[in-house]
A and B are shown apart, each in its own frame.
Chain A
Amino acid sequence: MIGLLVGVPLLGAAVLLCGGRRLDRSGHWLGTLLAAASFAIGAVLFFSMLGEDAEHRAMHSKLFSWVPVEGFQADVAFQLDQLSMTFVLLITGVGTLIHLYSVGYMEHDPGRRRFFGYLNLFLAAMLLLVLADNYLLLYVGWEGVGLASYLLIGFWQHKPTAATAAKKAFLVNRVGDAGLAIAIFLMFTTFGTFAFAPVLSSAGEASEGKLTAIGLMLLLAACGKSAQVPLQSWLGDAMEGPTPVSALIHAATMVTAGVYLITRSGAVFNGAPDAQLVVVVVGAVTLLFGALVGCAKDDIKKALAGSTMSQIGYMILAAGLGPIGYAFAIMHLVTHGFFKAGLFLGAGSVMHGMNDEVDMRRYGGLRKYMPVTFVTFGLGYLAIIGFPGLSGFFSKDQIIEAAFAKGGTEGWILGAVTLLGAAITAYYMTRVMLMTFFGEERWRKAATPSPDRPDVEPAAETRGEHAEPHPHESPKIMTIPMIVLAFGSVFAGGLFKAGESFVNWLEPVTAFEHGHSPVSAATVTTATVVALVIGVGAAWFQYGRKPVPAVAPRGNLLTRAARRDLLQDDFNHVVLVSGGTHLTRSLVYVDHKVVDGAVNGTAATFGGLSGRLRRLQNGFARSYAVSMFGGAAVLIAATLLMRAV
Chain B
Amino acid sequence: MSPINYVYLAALLFTIGAAGVLIRRNAIVVFMCIELMLNAANLTLVAFSRMHGNLDGQIMAFFVMVVAAAEVVVGLAIIVMLYRARHSASVDDASLMKL
Contact = CB atoms under 8 A, between A and B. Distances in A.
Interface in B6-29: 18, 21-23, 25
Contacts of A641: none
A626 B22 contact: yes
B98 A622 contact: no
B18 A629 contact: yes
Given A618-B98, A619-B95, 6 more contacts: A618-B95, A620-B91, A621-B91, A621-B92, A625-B21, A629-B22
Contact of A620 (B23, B95, B96, B99): B95
Contacts of A621: 30, 91-92, 94
A614 B95 CA distance: 14
Given A625-B21, A626-B22, A629-B18, A619 B98 contact: yes
Instruction: Sort A-B residue pairs by CB-CB distance and give the 4 closest, nearest first.
Output: A619-B95, A619-B98, A621-B91, A625-B21
B97 interface: yes
5 contacts: A617-B99, A619-B98, A622-B21, A622-B91, A629-B22
Interface of B: 18, 21-23, 25, 30, 91-92, 94-99
A620 B92 contact: yes
A261 B3 CA distance: 110
A640 to B, nearest CB: 15
Nearest to B96: A619
B82 to A, nearest CB: 11
Contacts of A614: 99
Contacts of B22: 622, 625-626, 629
A84 to B, nearest CB: 78
Interface residues of A, number: 10
Nearest to A615: B99
Nearest to A618: B98
A614 B98 CA distance: 9
B71 to A, nearest CB: 15
Interface string A608-637: 000000100111111001100100000000
A626 B30 CA distance: 13
A617 B97 CA distance: 9
B18 to A, nearest CB: 6
Given A617-B98, A617-B99, A622 B92 contact: yes
A625 B95 CA distance: 14
Contacts of B21: 622, 625
Contact of B97 (A619, A622, A625): A619
A455 to B, nearest CB: 67
Contacts of B95: 618-620
A242 B23 CA distance: 93
B8 to A, nearest CB: 17
A118 to B, nearest CB: 65
A222 to B, nearest CB: 70
B21 to A, nearest CB: 5
A620 B92 CA distance: 5
Nearest to B97: A619
Nearest to B95: A619
A93 B57 CA distance: 112
A614 B99 CA distance: 8
Contacts of B18: 629
Contacts of A619: 95-98
Nearest to B27: A621
Contacts of B92: 620-622
A209 to B, nearest CB: 71
B77 to A, nearest CB: 17
Nearest to A632: B18
Interface string A586-624: 000000000000000000000000000010011111100
B35 to A, nearest CB: 15
Nearest to A626: B22
Contacts of A629: 18, 22
A226 to B, nearest CB: 71
Contacts of B25: 622
A616 to B, nearest CB: 10
A629 B94 CA distance: 20
A621 B94 CA distance: 8
Contacts of B96: 619
B83 to A, nearest CB: 15
A332 B96 CA distance: 92
B11 to A, nearest CB: 13
B34 to A, nearest CB: 10
Nearest to A620: B92
Nearest to B33: A625
A613 to B, nearest CB: 10
